[in-house]
């Protein structure tokens, strides 16, 4: 890392270990407050199938299938303006 790296700001608030720790706590707080669910799952079905391998019965083959129905909370504004 060079001092001319554009990704790292030259002047960060708070110096030393406590300044760095304060920034990390602020990043985590901001992430916890953010709304990450842009959609809502209204149906979820998880199916697991297991079968022994024919050549070696000690080995199991497992297949997991997840079926979901997901609905967007806020439809995009362009979808409302379209007319058929």
For residue 53, is it within any domain?
Answer: yes
For residue 56, the model assigns a pLDDT of 92
Q: 46 in the Ramachandran plot: left (φ > 0), alpha (ψ -120 to 50) or beta?
A: beta
Q: Domain tally for the chain?
A: 1
Range of the domain at 65: 39-73
Q: List strand residue ranges (DSSP E) for the chain, in order.
A: 39-52, 60-72
For residue 55, is it within any domain?
Answer: yes
Residues 6+ positions from 41 with CB-CB distance below 8 Å: 68, 69, 70
For residue 12, the model assigns a pLDDT of 61
* 59-66 CB contacts, 8 Å cutoff, 24+ apart: none
Write the pLDDT tens digit of every residue in 32-70.
888 777 778 889 999 999 999 999 999 999 999 999 998
Write the pLDDT tens digit of every residue in 75-84.
656 655 555 5
Report, as an integer, the average pLDDT of 12-37. 84
SS3 35: coil
In contact, 44 and 65? CB cutoff 8 Å: no
For residue 84, is it within any domain?
Answer: no
For residue 1, the model assigns a pLDDT of 47
More confident residue, 63 or 73: 63
């Amino acid at each position: 890392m060079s001092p001319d790296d554009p990704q790292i700001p030259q002047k960060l608030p708070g110096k030393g270990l406590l300044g760095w720790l304060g920034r990390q706590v602020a990043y985590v707080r901001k992430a916890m407050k953010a709304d990450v669910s842009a959609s809502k799952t209204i149906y979820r079905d998880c199916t697991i199938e297991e079968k022994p391998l024919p050549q070696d019965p000690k080995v199991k083959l497992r297949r997991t299938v997840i079926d979901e129905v997901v609905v967007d909370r806020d439809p995009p504004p362009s979808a409302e303006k379209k007319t058929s």
